[in-house]
Amino acid sequence: MRHKFDQENGDTVPTWAEELASIKQEKGKRTRKFAENIIEWELSPDLLPVRSRPSRMGVLWYVNGSATPKSFVYVLKDRYTNAIRYVGLTDDPPRRHMEHRRKNVLYKQFTMVVVAVGGPVEESEWIDRCLAEDCALLNVVGNQ
């Protein structure tokens, strides 16, 4: 890897080709395909496999051959400490993953893990569980 040398402060500076490659790599991380491949699924075996189907309303997700689309509870874990920092609910995990990346949650250094199938009740249960374990959740007021 070649770098230009910055005369003023003695540091190396990436070449334009390296900067372009970095930009292309970051753009690739904003795609649905990238998000689908990077999400971890920690559901009980009786709920697997999870499948998606396009529809007029977007992409719908189904568990284990179910005929009705499902919602999912997910957590965002800090990639370095593995601490849970966010609990959420979504109908489309890859779309939500891309939204979190766009919002720069945890400076994009997170892993999205789908942990349950359900609705607001299950999400609240997960939030309570994380608070009981002293997780510093970003989406709970006064808990950062």
pTM, to two decimals? 0.76
Which tokens sit at 49?
């496999």
pLDDT exceeds cutoff 70 at 137: yes
Give the Cα separation of 15 and 73 in Å (integer).
43
Segment 29-78, tens digit of pLDDT = 567 787 888 889 999 888 888 888 888 888 888 898 888 999 999 999 99
- The residue type found at 17 is A
Please compute the mean of the pLDDT values over residues 7-15 and round it to a whole number. 61
How would you list the strands of the sheet with 110-117, edge to edge?
40-41, 110-117, 72-78, 84-90
Taking alpha carbons only, the member of 17, 139, 120 closest to residue 73 is: 120
Mean of the per-residue pLDDT values for the chain?
A: 82
CB 76, CB 88: distance < 8 Å = yes
pLDDT in tens, 19-28: 666 656 666 5
15 close to 4: Cβ distance less than 8 angstroms = yes
